[in-house]
A and B are shown apart, each in its own frame.
Chain A
Amino acid sequence: MKLIFDKSVPGRRAVRTTDLALGNPIPIDKKMLRDEPADLPELSELDVMRHFTELSRKNYGVDTGFYPLGSCTMKYNPKVADLVSQFPGFADLHPLIPQLPGGEVMVQGALAVLKETDRMLSEICGMAQFTMQPLAGAHGELTGAMIIAAYHKHKGNKKTTILIPDSAHGTNPASAAIAGFDVKTVPSNEDGVIDVQALRAMMDDDVAGVMLTCPNTLGLFNHHIKHIADLVHSVDGLMYYDGANLNALLGHCRPGEIGFDIVHVNLHKTFGTPHGGGGPGSGPVGVVERLVDFLPTSVVCAHDDGSYYLDYDRPRSIGYVAPFYGNFAIILRAYTYMLLLGAEGLTRVSENAVLNANYIMTKLKDYYDLPFDKICMHECVFSASRQAADGVRAINIAKALIDRGFHPMTVYFPLTVPEAMMIEPTETESKETIDTFIEAMIEIAQQVKESPEKLLACPTTTPVGQLDETLAARKPNVASLGQSECPDA
C-alpha cells in the first residue's frame, strides 16, 4: 500500500483555516522563516479518510477479536468511557488554569475526578495515597524507583541496589537503572516463583528495594510473599509492586496488606482504557503512609469544606514527573470504569479473569507442555518445547493463530520458560470465544504432528507475510524524507 506522501497531488486541499489578514506579509523577519513549506501530503479530506480506513483494516484490535496477549490484559474497553473523555468540560480544559490565581475554583470537577480516582485506587491496592501523574506503566516504575531513592536519601541510607526476579518485565530493571540504581537479578525456584533462599543470600544493607509482580509473570501467586516483604523490610528496603498483573487480585487481595510499600497500576490494563496501538497509557503510583511526602508535585488535596486544591509546597517531593496531573483523559476513562463496576463488579472481574485462564490451562495442558502445573491466576504460561522438537516453535504457533482469526498470545516471555506462550484471556471474553480458541490451539498441536510445514508457512491470510526483521535492523529505513531525501538515506 502506498505511503500517504505518495498519494499527494500538488494543489489539492482538505481543511482550510479562517483567514484573518492572510494576504498580508508574515509579521516575522524573513531570516527566521523556512524557505519551503514542510513537505506534507496534499490531499482531499476523502483521500485522507480512505487512506486511514484502509490502514485500519490491516490492524487487529480487541473489538476485532480475541486478543489473549499475556501480561497485557486486553479486555474490552467500554465505549461510554471514551464518550465521557470527550465532554468539552474535560477535553477543552486548559491545564494551566489551576495555576492561575483564582483558577482552582474553575477546575473543581477535574480535581474531583483525580481525587476520587486516587481514593478508589488506594482502596483497591491498600495504599495511603496515589499520584496520577505517571504517564505509563514504565513511567510509574521510574516514579516508584525515584521515590525509593528519595526515601533512602531522606533517611541517610546509602543504598544502591534494587533486586528484581529473573521473570520480571524488562521495564523493571530498565526503570531501576535509569533512576540510578544497580540492578541484581534474583533467580526463580522450581515452583516458578522468586527463590526465597537466594533472596535471603542477596539481602544486605545495600538493598534499597525489591520490584515484584504478584501474581508473577507466570500467573502464580507466591504464598511466601509476606515472608519476602518481612525480609526486605528488615534491612529497611522497600517493596515495589508492578501492577501489570493486578487484574487477578481486585477485591481479593490488596498489595498494601501483603507488604508492598509502592504500587503502580496500569489503567490501560486493569481499568479498561484503550491501548491505542501502543499508548497512551497511564501508570498511577500509590504509596503507604510513610512515603506520601515523597510523591511527585503537585498533589490534589481537599480543603475542610470539601473543595479541592493542588499542593505544590512539598519539600520532600521527588518533584515534577509529568507536565501536569497525568494523562487526564485516560484517568477519566478509568474513573468512569470504576463507577460502572463498583466494588462488586471489580471483584467479579478478577474471578472471571482467573476462571477463564484456568479453563484454558486445563483444556490445553494435554496438548502443550505446562511447566508449572498448578492453579494459575489471571494468565497461564505454556511451553512449545514439545512442538519445537518437531520443528514448530512458539513463534510459528503464534503466526498459525493469526491465520485462524486470533491475535497471538505473548511468546518468548517470561524468559524463564523456553518457548514460552503466555495466555491471558481476561474476564470479558465469553466461553464460546475461548472454546473456539482452544479448538484452534488443539488443531495446531495436531498439525504439528501431521504437517508441520504448513504451520511454518503461516501467516498466509494477512496483507504481508513474515517480514525481514534482520534487513530492517541492518539497513534501517525509518522515514521517507521527500524533497530533502538524500540518495543514501
Chain B
Amino acid sequence: MPFIANTDQQRQEMLAAIGVDKVEDLFANIPPELRCKGLDIPPGLTEQEVRKRMADLAEHNSSGLINFLGGGFYDHFIPAALNTIVSRSEFYTAYTPYQPEISQGTLQAIYEYQSAICRLTGMEAANASLYDGGTAVYEAIMMALRITKRSKVLVDDSVSPIYRKMVKSYTSNLGIDLMETASREGLPDRNAIADQIDDDTAAVIVQNPNFFGCIDDVTDLAEMVHARGGLLIVSCYPISLGLLKTPGEMNADIVVGEGQSLGMSVSFGGPYLGFMATRKKYLRKMPGRVVGRTVDAKGRDGFVLTLQAREQHIRREKATSNICTNQGLCALTSLVYMSLLGKHGLAELSGVCAHKADYARELMLKIPGVTIRFPERWYFNEFVLNLPMAADKVIRGLFNRGLAAGFPLGRYFPEMNNCLLVAVTENRTKEEIDFLAHSLEVIL
C-alpha cells in the first residue's frame, strides 16, 4: 500500500514525455556497484492487517495501571474538543508557515500560543516552542551564555535529573563550566549558591515546583543572581501556574518548561512541547521560531515568522540555535487546551490537583513508618515519602495490585533509596487514592 496514485499507463506516458524507456533509467546516475540489491523488510500489509498487528502490540503494554507517576510528565484529563480541533488536517498536514498568506491559521495560533505562555508565566515574550522541557533548559542556558558572554552555569540538583543529564550531554564539548548545587531540605540552598556564584556565572537554573514537588519563592535568588550580573532561569510545570506565583513575579529572566501537561498524552515519551519565555529586552537573543504581528499593504492585520536573522537558514553556523522545527501541533494543542480550560478553569484545575495531592499525602502519612521527606515544605501535586523499606520493593509489590505508585528516587538520588515520589492529578479519583493508601499499608 504505497499510496501511489499513478497507474502503469500514466507512468508510461510520463516516461515517454521524459524520453526514457523505463523508471530504471532515471536511476542511472547511481553507479551500479552502489545499487541496493533489495530490502530485507516484510511485504506490505493491508490497513486491516496493520490495525490488528498494532492493536496486539498496544495490548502488550500495561497502560491501564492506576497512575501516580509524574516526575515532570503527567496524565491530565484531555477534553474531547481538543482532539477534534488539532486533528483538522489544515493544521495537521501543513508545513512550517513560510508562506504567510496561506498560513495565517498556524501563524495566528502560534502568536496566541506565545501570548498565552506569557500570560501564564508572567513574562513578556515567548518563542514558538522547542522540542521538550529538557532541550528548553539547554537552550535557555545557551541563551544566557550569549547574553552575559560568560562561561559558568549553576544548575540546582532539585532540577529534574533527566534534564540535568541532557544538559550535560549537550554541553560536554563546549568548554562550559557546568556546576551542580546541592539542594537542602528539598529546596535550592541559598548559602551553597551564594558560595558558588561569581562574576563569571551566566545563570542559575532552578525548577518550581522542583523535582521533589516542593514549591519555592525564588525572588531572593533572582536578586542574588542579578547582583552578580547573571540571569535566573526557572523551569516550571504549567498546570501549577494556575495557582502559583509566576516566575515573572519572582523576577526570573528566562522561563522554560515541559508543556506536555497542557493537553498532550504521555505517549511513552513524546512528542512533547518545550516552552520558553523571557523579558522583551532579550527577545533577539532567544532561539527558535518567533511569530510576530504586522500588517499588509491594505493595513489588514496578519502574522509572520519574524526575527529570522537569528536563525540557521540565514545565519548558518552563526545561528542562535540549530533548531528548525518548532512543535507547531503541540503548541496548538496547548493553546486549545488553555482556551478550553480558560482563566478560571485552569485555576480550578490547579486547585483540584493540589487538594487531591493533599488528601493523598495526609492519608498516606497515617500509615505507620511512612513520613514526608521534607516536612517544612509546601507542595503542589507531587511529594516525596520516606518509606520503611526500599521504594523499589514497594513499587514491585504495588504493580501486582495494578498500581504505578510513584517513582523510586534511588535511581537518580542514591541516598534516597527509601523515597517514593508520588504525583496526583485530577484524573485520580478518591477511590483510587484510597486504594493506593490501603495497598501501601498492606504491603508495608
> Which chain B positions have C-beta within 8 A of A21?
352, 355-356, 358-359
- Contact assessment for A322 and B166 in the assembled complex, using a CB-CB cutoff below 8 Å: yes
Q: Which residue in chain A gives the minimum CB-CB distance to B306?
A: A472
A140-153 interface bits toward B, Cβ cutoff 8 Å, 1 = contact, 0 = none:
01100010010001
12 example contacts (A-B, Cβ-Cβ < 8 A) are as follows A26-B351, A37-B343, A40-B346, A78-B3, A84-B58, A277-B97, A280-B327, A323-B258, A345-B44, A464-B301, A468-B296, A472-B306
Q: A91-B267, A355-B11, A375-B29 known; 14 other A-B pairs, CB under 8 Å?
A: A20-B352, A28-B379, A33-B243, A52-B85, A75-B3, A90-B58, A94-B268, A106-B62, A110-B57, A138-B322, A251-B39, A277-B97, A339-B50, A340-B44
Interface residues on A, range: 35 or more
How long is the Cα–Cα vector from A232 to B322 in the complex, in angstroms?
24
> Which chain B positions have C-beta within 8 A of A340?
1, 44-47, 50
- Contact assessment for B295 and A276 in the assembled complex, using a CB-CB cutoff below 8 Å: no
The residue from A146, A324, A413, A431 contacting B268, defined by CB atoms under 8 A apart: A324
How long is the Cα–Cα vector from A15 to B85 in the complex, in angstroms?
15
> Which chain B positions have C-beta within 8 A of A433?
5
How long is the Cα–Cα vector from A79 to B342 in the complex, in angstroms?
31
Shortest distance from the beta carbon of A19 to any chain B beta carbon, whole Å = 7
- Contact assessment for B120 and A338 in the assembled complex, using a CB-CB cutoff below 8 Å: no
- Contact assessment for A351 and B23 in the assembled complex, using a CB-CB cutoff below 8 Å: yes
Size of interface on B: residues with Cβ below 8 Å to A: 211
> Which chain A positions have C-beta within 8 A of B345?
13-17, 40
Shortest distance from the beta carbon of B103 to any chain A beta carbon, whole Å = 6
- Contact assessment for A296 and B296 in the assembled complex, using a CB-CB cutoff below 8 Å: no
The residue from B27, B57, B116, B318 contacting A89, defined by CB atoms under 8 A apart: B57
Taking the complex as formed, is A101 at the interface, i.e. its CB lies under 8 A from any CB of chain B?
A: yes
Shortest distance from the beta carbon of A299 to any chain B beta carbon, whole Å = 14
Shortest distance from the beta carbon of A367 to any chain B beta carbon, whole Å = 15
Taking the complex as formed, is B321 at the interface, i.e. its CB lies under 8 A from any CB of chain A?
A: yes
Taking the complex as formed, is B442 at the interface, i.e. its CB lies under 8 A from any CB of chain A?
A: no
Leading 9 A-B pairs by shortest Cβ distance: A89-B58, A324-B269, A342-B44, A276-B329, A109-B60, A319-B169, A61-B93, A280-B271, A278-B328
Taking the complex as formed, is B36 at the interface, i.e. its CB lies under 8 A from any CB of chain A?
A: yes
Given contacts A45-B340, A112-B57, A257-B34, contact A281 B325 (CB under 8 A): yes
Taking the complex as formed, is A82 at the interface, i.e. its CB lies under 8 A from any CB of chain B?
A: yes
Q: Which of B29, B84, B163, B307 has the most CB of A within 10 A?
A: B29
Taking the complex as formed, is A440 at the interface, i.e. its CB lies under 8 A from any CB of chain B?
A: no
Shortest distance from the beta carbon of B259 to any chain A beta carbon, whole Å = 12
> Which chain A positions have C-beta within 8 A of B36?
126, 249, 251-254, 257
The residue from A85, A276, A465, A478 contacting B328, defined by CB atoms under 8 A apart: A276
The residue from B71, B170, B290, B346 contacting A478, defined by CB atoms under 8 A apart: B290
> Which chain B positions have C-beta within 8 A of A249?
36
> Which chain A positions have C-beta within 8 A of B241?
34, 38
Number of A-B contacts (CB under 8 A): 724
- Contact assessment for A226 and B34 in the assembled complex, using a CB-CB cutoff below 8 Å: yes
> Which chain A positions have C-beta within 8 A of B352?
17-22
How long is the Cα–Cα vector from A351 to B6 in the complex, in angstroms?
11
Shortest distance from the beta carbon of B341 to any chain A beta carbon, whole Å = 6
Taking the complex as formed, is A467 at the interface, i.e. its CB lies under 8 A from any CB of chain B?
A: yes
- Contact assessment for B355 and A138 in the assembled complex, using a CB-CB cutoff below 8 Å: no
> Which chain B positions have C-beta within 8 A of A451?
none
A237-254 interface bits toward B, Cβ cutoff 8 Å, 1 = contact, 0 = none:
000000000000111111
Shortest distance from the beta carbon of B107 to any chain A beta carbon, whole Å = 9
B76-105 interface bits toward A, Cβ cutoff 8 Å, 1 = contact, 0 = none:
010101011101111111111111111111
> Which chain A positions have C-beta within 8 A of B289?
278
- Contact assessment for A272 and B3 in the assembled complex, using a CB-CB cutoff below 8 Å: yes
The residue from B18, B44, B95, B358 contacting A339, defined by CB atoms under 8 A apart: B44
The residue from A16, A40, A142, A322 contacting B269, defined by CB atoms under 8 A apart: A322
Q: Which stretch of B125-133, B188-196, B220-228 is in the interface?
A: B125-133
How long is the Cα–Cα vector from A377 to B169 in the complex, in angstroms?
37
Q: Which residue in chain A gives the minimum CB-CB distance to B74?
A: A94
The residue from B45, B46, B269, B311 contacting A95, defined by CB atoms under 8 A apart: B269
- Contact assessment for A467 and B90 in the assembled complex, using a CB-CB cutoff below 8 Å: no
Taking the complex as formed, is A305 at the interface, i.e. its CB lies under 8 A from any CB of chain B?
A: no
| Residues of B47-62 whose CB lies within 8 A of A | 47, 50-51, 53-62
Q: Which residue in chain A gives the minimum CB-CB distance to B353?
A: A17
Taking the complex as formed, is A43 at the interface, i.e. its CB lies under 8 A from any CB of chain B?
A: yes
| Residues of B64-81 whose CB lies within 8 A of A | 64-65, 67, 69, 71-73, 75, 77, 79, 81
How long is the Cα–Cα vector from A325 to B39 in the complex, in angstroms?
26
| Residues of B262-314 whose CB lies within 8 A of A | 265-272, 280, 283, 289-298, 300-304, 306-309, 311-314
> Which chain B positions have C-beta within 8 A of A64?
89-90, 93
- Contact assessment for B26 and A355 in the assembled complex, using a CB-CB cutoff below 8 Å: yes
